[in-house]
């Protein structure tokens, strides 16, 4: 069957099997930032944003993504133009093996979109579904708070310019 | 630049051969004993950005699965449903008929080669007791058959169609029963053996034995005022890298087998795969791309043999990725143990004797069986001075999941036992547990006979402690946890608070055994390619090693282009284990970079018409005498490449270490225990680490935080639950709880700088040590809060509540306990009267009466 969906702002028409999971479809389409960690919705490595909400793509049927807007970590930014969250993860030392990062970044992006002034508790709530075995989480919580701070500043300065 | 002291060798140079005109310098390099200390650091000891981090957060860095490959086959391995059985017959015809199935392999299709899956140096100190496929299965999940198919679904379906007739055998699950006369023999095959001359008795499920003694423990116990004995049961655990094991195989243009694999040990993986498949090493290339964490479980050659087999037999590329359930059941685990410590202590706080007896459960195969066991002694016993020490360890086979290397590597298990016992001793003599440790812990300049007595499958290496920041870790940690104010004040309500702490040591590499090597070449813009055998599994070693190279050569980190872990392209390295990469390979980087720097100085000198000894280097620029002349690195390389006496500026360097200097650490935990439910809440956790010079403080801190959280979650929630047939019942993150952000306590970590002169720029290891602290620190905090000693972690509400109930019962028994409360120190203020807390009768403090005390 066909799946029509928007991924990172571009239209896609993908040929999929009816029982295909979104994680596999996205990876086959080249979005390797969607990682497999458990396949049962309990680690968050495969998280993507669907219509603005973080979702574990390993337990989402690809068919359910018909007509939606998907954001993967590749859509956040690239090394030349990283997203403020990606930059904050780098600066704070939040990335060790990095395998959990795409999912955590998506969860963090969803948080900042809905709550630009999060507290540390808000960040912990938002990232709770994204397991990381390497870092102990301390630095990434700081990173998200820093990114929130940084976005506020840019917002202010761009508003000032207008 | 820094001159290194050459190792003094007693060996005389061999007499020159008759034809030789003059005695030549041996091409075999000597690894320096110590490295010179520069006046200041430019690149190391700075928190520079991890070289791969931007690529990682933008998903530009590639892991094993991120390579698209035409015609890729998918592998699924049928796991055994039984803990112990012989395959009577196996029929794969129906499986082969499933559309998309390309090949099915059973033990009948592969040559029988016994070897170990433990990725250790050769010859390995682990028994050769594992085959690619065998006619016998020894634990639930053990390999039965391999299917390769066009799709994962077809492979999975084919597995369900394989007809196997098992003759189910009696199984043994209890390590304390494994050597009984009537226990079933797990390795009854004729060909299992050990490749080095060490104890091995598979006919009695007895996998390894280590025994050593210093002084006379019996005498030591006689000298003691109190002799305490207690048994501790550190439990099963899995590493849980978020990327499960995964390997891809394909044939390259020259028909060589390429294994792209998530491994910590690319060179050992190449060697062991060649051995297993019966092909030469030269036919195999192992590439380690980015990998999603390892923590020891990827120090195991687990998937490469199967992938190699499939690709060689089908001539097609293939991939095998473990599911999370397979990762739990069939990858590797932390060896669970039964550790009995008997210790003698005097009222003045002197430890007169320590006896540590261990039964380690290696499960169905003996991967790392001996070395994890000996590490229990060698990484824990030297921490405290005692004249009389005894260590007796045995590893046994059972029909349970297989043990392996896991961050901490035996030290985790033994530190739990030892550090709880330290608190028990302190309590018995009525001394503050910190004061007791301060009195006894090893200091700079001191040594321990254990270093020499316990090696890895052979004698260890004698050494004195060259750097020790433990005292500072303790005092600073005390402040941060507010020990003076809070210790011993549990409060009165239904929720009681407690503080606990512990001290730790580990090692840095395996001395005189491990080797690392590095190759550096210069490019015409003044940059350098650094090719490393070392394996960055997320730890940041690529960055740390590049910082060391930049520091030595005299340029910025950005000028180093790092490529690591490719057996065709990079020089050898034992791999990422034994806390060795920074310390050991860092040494190789210095040895290599010094040669490169000398070449640069020589070329610059000739360009400027200066004497080489007057050339100084700063930030990629070479200066002549008085800084009148200067040439940049780019000019130097261009000159060497194109202008005069052309050559490639570059060098290779190796290093072995002659010591394994321990990092030290003190950990502190504050808990709140609900006396009605038994629930333990970890409020605050503090860890201070002395890792010598932190080459990259931010990364070292990250290692510490990650290790602490792993240890904490191991102590409080992680647990293997088995049914009566040895099947793990909770092989998923839903039921095997690893901690996430909402579970976090307040976590504070700090580094205490010291300078270890045998290490590169003063560095020691940092990655493993901090996983060892949570079990004892939290265990001691629980005891401090509610008076119960939990010896069987994890510290679940149920266990704490049960122990508290039992504590109330034998109140009468406590009345006849001896005068253990006679504190000798003014500082003494145990949270509870010393012995009342004890339930298990054996642990009571009493006047030493060694006579009649038989070892079991
Ligand atoms: S892989 Fe999807 S939640 Fe773990
Ligand atoms: S950085 Fe390795 S799992 Fe998070």
pLDDT value of residue B394:
98
pLDDT for B14 beyond 70 = no
**Cis omega before residue B794 (within 30°)?**
yes
Class of residue B16 by CB neighbours under 10 A (exposed 0-12, middle 13-18, buried 19+): exposed
CA distances from A130 to B74, B131, B393, B572, B654 (A): 27, 37, 40, 36, 40
Contacts of A129 in chain B (CB under 8 A): 740
Whether residue A119 is found in the same domain as residue A67: no
Does residue B42 form part of some domain?
Answer: no
- Category of B183 on φ-ψ map: left (φ > 0), alpha (ψ -120 to 50) or beta: beta
- Considering only CA atoms, which of B176, B204, B205, B209 is closest in space to residue B393? B209
> pLDDT at position B374, please?
96
Question: Domain for residue A62, yes or no?
Answer: yes
Scanning B646-739, the segments in alpha helix (DSSP H) are 697-716
- C-beta atoms surrounding B289 within 10 Å: 17
Q: How far apart are CA B366 and CA B117, in angstroms?
A: 9
Q: Residue B791: is it exposed, middle or buried by C-beta count within 10 angstroms (0-12/13-18/19+)?
A: buried
pLDDT band for B264, please (50, 70, 90 cuts): very high
Q: Domain range holding A31?
A: 2-75
Same domain, B670 and B798: yes
Tell me: do B632 and B703 sit in the same domain. no
Rounded CA separation B751/B763 (Å):
12
Phi/psi of residue B621, nearest 5 degrees: -130, 135
Tokens of residue B268, six digits? 């050992």
pLDDT value at residue B388: 97
Beta carbons of A74 and B58 less than 8 Å apart: yes
Q: A42 CB less than 6 Å from ligand 1?
A: yes
Are B289 and B339 in a shared domain? no
Query: Are A59 and A123 within one domain?
Result: no
Final residue before a domain boundary, out of B303, B330, B357:
B330
SS3 label, residue B34: strand
pLDDT confidence tier of residue B833, bands split at 50, 70 and 90:
very low
CA atoms of A71 and A33, how far apart (whole Å): 11
The residue behind tokens 């620029």 is B621
CATH of the domain at B805: 3.30.365.10
Residue A105 binned pLDDT confidence (cut-offs 50, 70, 90): very high
- Chain B residues in contact with A27 by the CB 8 A cut-off are 65
Distance from the CA of B730 to the center of ligand 1, in angstroms?
17
pLDDT of residue B458: 79
User: Is A132 contained in some domain?
Assistant: yes
Contact B534, B541 (CB under 8 A): yes
B179 within a domain of the structure (yes/no): no
Q: Are residues A61 and A116 in the same domain?
A: no
- Asked whether residue A31 is assigned to any structural domain, the reply reads yes
Task: Give per-residue pLDDT as tens, B334-372.
Answer: 999 999 999 999 999 999 999 999 999 999 999 999 999
| Position B658 pLDDT exceeds 80 | yes
Residue B650 located in a structural domain: yes
pLDDT above 50 for B474: yes
Looking at the structure, tell me whether residues A107 and A151 fall in a common domain. Answer: yes
Distance in Å, alpha carbon of B327 to nearest chain A alpha carbon: 10
Nearest CA to ligand 2 atom 2: A97
Give alpha helix (H) positions in B197-318: 217-223, 266-277, 304-314
Q: Say yes or no to pLDDT of B837 above 60.
A: no
CATH code: domain of residue A107:
1.10.150.120
Residues B572 and B708 in one domain: no
Rounded to two decimals, the pTM is 0.93
> Minimal Cα distance from A125: which residue of B?
B742
B242 and A35 in contact by Cβ < 8 A?
Answer: yes
With an 8 Å Cβ cutoff, are A137 and B740 in contact?
yes
CA distance A63 to chain B (A): 18
Pair B314, B346 in one domain = no
Same domain, B479 and B391: yes
Same domain for A89 and A143? Answer: yes
**CB-CB contact of B735 with B237 (8 Å):** no
Q: With contacts defined as CB-CB under 8 Å, which chain B residues touch A39? A: 323-324
* DSSP secondary structure, B402-453, as one string: PB---TTTTHHHHHHHHHHHHHHHHHHHT--HHHHHHHHB--TT-B-HHHHH
Residue bearing the CA closest to ligand 2, atom 4: A132
Coil/strand/helix, residue B530: strand
Q: Tell me which of A37-51, B92-106, B176-190, B820-834 is least confident.
A: B820-834
Per-residue pLDDT tens over the stretch B613-642: 999 999 999 999 999 999 999 999 999 999
Over the range B749-785, which residues count as b (16 or more CB within 10 Å of their CB) and which as e?
bebbebebbbbbbbbbbbbbbbbbbbbbbbbbbbbbb
Beta bridge partners of residue B392, listed in sequence order: B211, B357
Does residue B187 belong to any structural domain of this protein?
no
- More confident of the two residues B834 and B432: B432
Q: Note whether B670 and B681 are within 8 A (CB).
A: no
**Does B41 map to a domain?**
no
- For residues B512-532, b (16+ Cβ closer than 10 Å) or e, as one string? bbbbbbbbbbbbbebbbebbb
Decide which of B83 and B24 is more confident. B83
pLDDT: is B452 or B261 the higher one?
B261
Q: What is the DSSP string of chain A?
A: -EEEEEETTEEEEEE--TT-BHHHHHHHTT-TTS--S-SSSSS-TTEEEETTEEEEGGGSBGGGGTT-EEE-GGGT-BTTB--HHHHHHHHHT--SS-TTHHHHHHHHHHHHHH-SS--HHHHHHHHTTS--SSS-SHHHHHHHHHHHHHHHHHHHHHHHH-
ipTM above 0.95, yes or no: yes
The residues, any chain, with a CB within 8 Å of residue B715's CB and separated by 6 or more, are B774, B775, B778, B779, B793, B794, B795
Q: Residues B759, B649: one domain?
A: no
d(Cα B209, Cα B199) in Å, to the nearest integer? Answer: 6
Same domain flag for A89 and A34: no
Give CA–CA dist B487/B500, Å, rounded. 8
| Domain membership flag for residue B184 | no
Report which of B340, B681, B341 is spatially closest to residue B498, judged by C-alpha positions.
Answer: B681
Are both B810 and B744 inside the same structural domain? yes
Measured CA to CA, the distance from residue B481 to residue B474 in angstroms comes to 11
Residue A147 lies in a domain: yes
- Of B119, B57, B356, residue with least CA distance to B217: B356
Q: Determine the pLDDT at residue B16.
A: 43
State residue A161's pLDDT score. 52
Of the candidates A12, A70, A68, the one whose C-alpha atom is nearest the C-alpha of residue A46 is A70
Percent of chain B exceeding pLDDT 90 equals: 89
Q: Count the Cβ atoms, other than its own, within 10 Å of residue B5.
A: 12
- Position B844 pLDDT exceeds 60: no
Half-sphere exposure of B634 (CA within 13 A, CB side): 2
Q: How far apart are CA B131 and CA B113, in angstroms?
A: 6
A70 and A33 share one domain: yes
Q: Does residue A91 sit in the same domain as residue A35?
A: no
The per-residue pLDDT for B848 is: 37
Q: Do B53 and A37 touch (CB under 8 A)?
A: no
Residue-range definition of the domain harbouring residue B589: 53-61+515-656
Of the candidates A42, A73, A123, the beta carbon closest to that of B734 is on A42
The pLDDT value given to residue A156: 80
pLDDT at B583: 97
Tens digit of each residue's pLDDT (9 = 90 or more) over B152-164 = 999 999 999 999 9
Residue B21 is predicted with a pLDDT of: 56
- A68/A93 same-domain check: no
Chain B residue numbers touching A144 (CB-CB < 8 A): none
Q: Are B202 and B397 in contact (CB under 8 A)?
A: yes
Domain tally, chain B: 3
Task: Work out the average pLDDT over B572-593.
Answer: 96
CA distance B81 to B804: 39
User: Number of structural domains, chain A?
Assistant: 2
Cross-chain Cβ contact B240/A133 below 8 Å = yes
Please provide the average confidence, as pLDDT, over all residues in chain B.
Answer: 92
% of chain B surpassing 70 pLDDT:
92
Compute the distance between CA of residue B840 and CA of residue B842 in angstroms, rounded to an integer: 6
What pLDDT was estimated at residue B816? 43
Same domain, A23 and A42: yes
The values of phi and psi at residue B35, to 5°, are -110, 145
**Residues of chain B positioned with their CB less than 8 A from the CB of A130:** 740-741
For the CA of B321, the nearest ligand:
1
**Contact B732/A96, CB-based, under 8 Å?**
no
Mean pLDDT, residues B186-205 = 97
User: Which residues contact residue B318 at a Cβ distance below 8 angstroms, ignoring those fewer than 6 apart?
Assistant: B72, B73, B74, B75, B148, B248, B249, B250, B307, B310, B311
Indicate if B503 and B578 belong to the same structural domain.
Answer: no
Band of pLDDT at residue B807, cut at 50, 70 and 90? confident
Whether residue A41 lies inside any domain: the answer is yes
**pLDDT score of B487:** 96
- Looking at residue B19, its pLDDT comes to 52
CB contact under 8 A, A135 and B702: yes
B18 lies in some domain: no
pLDDT, tens only, B280-317: 999 999 999 999 999 999 999 999 999 999 999 999 99
Same domain, B749 and B780: yes
User: Do B617 and B667 have their domain in common?
Assistant: no
**pLDDT-derived band at A159, boundaries 50, 70, 90:** low
Whole-number pLDDT of residue A154: 83
Tell whether the model's pLDDT for residue A5 goes beyond 80: yes
Instruction: Enter the DSSP assignment of B702.
Output: H
Q: What is the pLDDT of residues B677-723, one digit of tens each?
A: 999 999 999 999 999 999 999 999 999 999 999 999 999 999 999 99
How does residue B753 score in pLDDT terms, banded at 50, 70 and 90? very high
Do the domain assignments include residue A162? Answer: no
**Residues B185-209: what's their mean pLDDT?**
97
A 10 A CB-CB count for B137 gives 25
Instruction: Determine the pLDDT at residue B23.
Output: 59
pLDDT of residue B811: 55
Read off the pLDDT of residues B368-400 as tens digits, 9 standing for 90 and up: 999 999 999 999 999 999 999 999 999 999 999
3-state SS, residue B668: strand
Query: Is A44 part of any domain?
Result: yes
Instruction: Compute the distance from residue B262 Cα to the ligand 2 centre, in Å.
Output: 14
- Cα torsion B83, B87, B88, B94 to 10°: value is 120
- Tokens representing A72? 């993967």
Residue A7: CATH number of its domain: 3.10.20.30
* Nearest neighbour of B58 by CB, restricted to A78, A91, A100: A78
Q: Is A144 in the pocket of ligand 1 (CB under 6 A)?
A: no
Cα B286 to averaged position of ligand 2 atoms, centre (Å): 23
Whole-angstrom CA distances from B688 to A47, B40, B202, B489 are: 34, 24, 42, 23
Query: Furthest-apart CA pair in chain B: how many Å?
Result: 93
Instruction: Find the A65 Cα to ligand 1 centroid distance in Å.
Output: 17
Do the domain assignments include residue A135? Answer: yes
The closest ligand to the CA of A60 turns out to be 1
Q: Average pLDDT in the B129-149 region?
A: 98
List the Cα angle A153/A156/A160 in 5-degree steps. 140
B178 within domain boundaries:
no
- What average pLDDT does this structure show over B510-528? 96
- Residues B542, B643, single domain; the answer is yes
């Amino acid at each position: 069957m066909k799946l029509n969906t928007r991924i990172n702002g571009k239209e896609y028409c993908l040929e999929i099997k009816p029982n295909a999971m979104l994680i596999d479809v996205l990876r086959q389409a080249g979005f390797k930032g969607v990682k497999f960690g458990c396949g049962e919705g309990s680690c968050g490595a495969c998280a993507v944003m669907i219509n603005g909400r973080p979702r574990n793509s390993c337990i989402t049927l690809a068919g359910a993504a018909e007509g939606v807007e998907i954001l993967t970590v590749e859509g956040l930014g690239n090394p030349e133009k990283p997203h403020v969250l990606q930059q904050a993860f780098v600066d704070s030392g939040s990335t060790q093996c990095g395998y959990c990062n795409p999912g955590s970044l998506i969860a963090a992006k969803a948080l900042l979109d809905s709550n630009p002034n999060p507290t540390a508790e808000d960040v912990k709530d938002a990232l709770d579904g994204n397991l990381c075995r390497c870092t102990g989480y301390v630095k990434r919580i700081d990173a998200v708070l820093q990114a929130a701070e940084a976005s506020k500043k840019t917002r202010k300065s761009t508003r000032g310019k207008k | 630049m820094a001159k290194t002291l050459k190792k003094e060798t007693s060996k005389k140079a061999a007499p020159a051969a008759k034809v030789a005109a003059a005695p030549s310098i041996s091409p075999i390099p000597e690894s320096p004993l110590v490295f010179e200390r520069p006046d200041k650091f430019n690149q190391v000891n700075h928190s520079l950005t991890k070289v791969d981090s931007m690529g990682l957060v933008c998903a530009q860095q590639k892991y094993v699965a991120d390579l698209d490959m035409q015609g890729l086959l998918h592998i699924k391995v049928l796991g055994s449903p039984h803990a112990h059985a012989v395959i009577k017959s196996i029929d794969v015809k129906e499986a082969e008929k499933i559309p998309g199935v390309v090949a099915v392999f059973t033990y009948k299709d592969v040559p029988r080669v016994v070897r170990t899956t433990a990725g250790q140096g050769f010859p390995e100190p682990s028994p050769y007791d594992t085959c690619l496929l065998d006619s016998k299965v020894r634990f639930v999940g053990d390999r039965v058959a391999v299917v390769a198919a066009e799709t994962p679904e077809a492979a999975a379906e084919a597995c369900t169609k394989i007809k196997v007739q098992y003759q189910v055998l009696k199984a043994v699950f209890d390590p304390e029963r494994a050597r009984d006369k009537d226990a079933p023999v797990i390795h009854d095959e004729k060909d299992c053996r050990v490749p080095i001359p060490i104890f091995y008795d598979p006919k009695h499920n007895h996998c390894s034995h280590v025994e050593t003694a210093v002084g006379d423990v019996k005498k030591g116990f006689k000298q003691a005022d109190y002799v305490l004995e207690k048994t501790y049961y550190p439990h099963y655990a899995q590493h849980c890298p978020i990327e499960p094991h995964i390997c891809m195989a394909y044939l390259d243009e020259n028909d060589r087998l390429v294994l792209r694999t998530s491994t910590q040990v690319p060179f050992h993986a190449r060697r062991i795969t060649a051995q297993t498949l019966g092909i030469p090493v030269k036919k195999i290339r192992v590439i380690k791309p980015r990998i999603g964490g390892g923590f020891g479980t990827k120090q195991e050659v687990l998937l490469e043999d199967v992938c190699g087999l499939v690709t060689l037999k089908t001539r097609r590329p293939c991939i095998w990725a473990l599911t999370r359930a397979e990762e739990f059941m069939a990858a590797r685990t932390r060896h669970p143990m039964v550790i009995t410590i008997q210790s003698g202590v005097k009222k003045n706080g002197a430890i007169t004797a320590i006896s540590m007896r261990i039964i380690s459960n290696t499960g169905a195969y003996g991967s790392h069986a001996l070395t994890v066991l000996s590490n229990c002694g060698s990484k824990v016993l030297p921490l405290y001075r005692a004249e009389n020490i005894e260590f007796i360890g045995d590893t046994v086979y059972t029909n349970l999941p297989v043990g392996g290397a896991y961050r901490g590597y035996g030290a985790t298990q033994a530190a739990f036992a030892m550090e709880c016992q330290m608190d028990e001793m302190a309590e018995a003599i009525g001394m503050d547990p910190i004061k007791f440790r301060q009195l006894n812990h090893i200091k700079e300049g001191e040594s321990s006979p254990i270093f020499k007595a316990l090696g890895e499958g052979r004698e260890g290496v004698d050494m004195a402690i060259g750097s020790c920041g433990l005292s500072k870790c303790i005092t600073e940690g005390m402040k941060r946890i507010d020990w003076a104010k809070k210790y011993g004040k549990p409060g009165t309500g239904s929720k009681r608070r407690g503080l606990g702490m512990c001290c730790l040591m580990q090692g840095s590499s395996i001395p005189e055994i491990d080797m690392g090597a590095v190759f550096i070449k210069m490019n015409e813009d003044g940059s350098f390619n650094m090719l490393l055998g070392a394996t960055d599994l997320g730890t940041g070693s690529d960055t740390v090693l590049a910082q060391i190279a930049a520091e030595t050569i005299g340029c910025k980190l950005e000028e180093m282009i790092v490529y690591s872990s490719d057996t065709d392209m990079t020089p050898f390295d034992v791999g990422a284990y034994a806390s060795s990469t920074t310390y050991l390979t860092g040494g190789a980087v210095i040895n290599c970079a010094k040669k490169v720097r000398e070449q640069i100085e020589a070329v610059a000198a000739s360009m400027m018409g200066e004497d080489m000894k007057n050339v100084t280097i700063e930030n990629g620029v070479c200066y002549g005498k008085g800084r009148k002349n200067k040439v940049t690195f780019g000019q130097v390389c261009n000159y060497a490449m194109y202008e005069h006496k052309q050559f490639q500026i570059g060098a290779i360097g190796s290093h072995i270490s002659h010591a394994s200097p321990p990092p030290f650490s003190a950990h502190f935990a504050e808990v709140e225990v609900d006396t009605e439910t038994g629930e333990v809440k970890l409020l605050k956790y503090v860890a201070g680490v002395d890792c010598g010079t932190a080459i990259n403080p931010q990364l070292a801190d990250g290692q510490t935080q990650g290790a602490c959280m792993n240890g904490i979650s191991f102590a409080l929630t992680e647990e293997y639950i088995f049914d009566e047939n040895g099947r793990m019942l909770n092989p998923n993150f839903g039921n095997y709880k690893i901690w996430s952000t909402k579970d976090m306590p307040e976590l504070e970590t700090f580094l205490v700088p010291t300078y270890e002169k045998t290490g590169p720029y003063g560095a020691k290891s940092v990655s493993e040590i901090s996983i060892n602290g949570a079990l004892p620190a939290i265990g001691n905090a629980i005891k401090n809060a509610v008076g119960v000693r939990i010896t069987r972690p994890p510290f679940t509400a149920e266990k704490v509540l049960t122990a508290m109930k039992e504590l109330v019962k034998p109140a009468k028994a406590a009345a006849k306990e001896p005068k253990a409360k006679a504190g000798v120190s003014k500082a003494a203020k145990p949270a509870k009267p010393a012995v009342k807390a004890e339930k298990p009768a054996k642990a009571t403090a009493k006047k030493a009466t060694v006579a009649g005390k038989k070892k079991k």
